[in-house]
A = this chain, B = another copy of it.
């Protein structure tokens, strides 16, 4: 046993999500979160850069997505590479619907948190573009594909969240990837 209780970061993240969802993001002060986690406000900011980051840090989404894209068969067509990324991303949400729903209801309710979510996805898009370039996909296709697959992910995630009951996310994403054809189809 150390001098302090372990898992300070985790305790802070859990306290934050609970308080944000119970009494609202704006109504929650960082001092409250820290107190509930048995720490001080100053220590909160040693673990998380700001009041928003506590809901986003530590997500493996980007790594899973990028790794899947980077390790897809070299000869695979671009769509399939993107599909592999979407599959990997989808997998991390399997069986965690309640948890994800709670978190997302908090994020959706506060523009500051939405902003943070969007910049995380933009960072993911940028990392995906890098991975595609590493695979030999030329510009501007790489950047366009990265942004486009994020479009699919956003719409798919929203539909998964909004669905009445729990469903597999991956088929949803695959359907949307096919639907892309309708967007580009010429009259």
List residues of A whose CB falls within 8 A of some B CB: 76-80, 82, 111, 114-116, 118-119, 122, 140-141, 143-145, 147-148, 150-152, 154-155, 158-159, 176-177, 179-187
B148 and A78 form a contact (CB under 8 A): no
Contacts A140-B176, A143-B155: A183 and B115 contacting too (C-beta < 8 A)?
no
Contact of A155 among B122, B140, B181 (CB under 8 A): B140
Residues of the B chain whose Cβ atoms lie less than 8 Å from the Cβ of A183: 78-79, 82, 141, 144-145, 148, 180
Residues of the B chain whose Cβ atoms lie less than 8 Å from the Cβ of A179: 140-141, 144
Which of A140, A183, A185, A186 counts the most B-chain CB atoms under 10 A from its CB?
A183
Contacts A78-B183, A115-B119, A184-B181: A144 and B155 contacting too (C-beta < 8 A)?
yes
A30 to nearest B CB, angstroms? 18
Residues of the B chain whose Cβ atoms lie less than 8 Å from the Cβ of A116: 115
In the bound assembly, the distance between CA atoms of A123 and B89 in angstroms comes to 24
B119 and A140 form a contact (CB under 8 A): no
Q: List 17 A-B contacts (CB under 8 A).
A: A78-B182, A78-B183, A79-B183, A114-B119, A114-B122, A115-B119, A140-B159, A140-B176, A140-B179, A141-B179, A143-B158, A144-B180, A145-B182, A148-B151, A151-B151, A180-B180, A184-B184
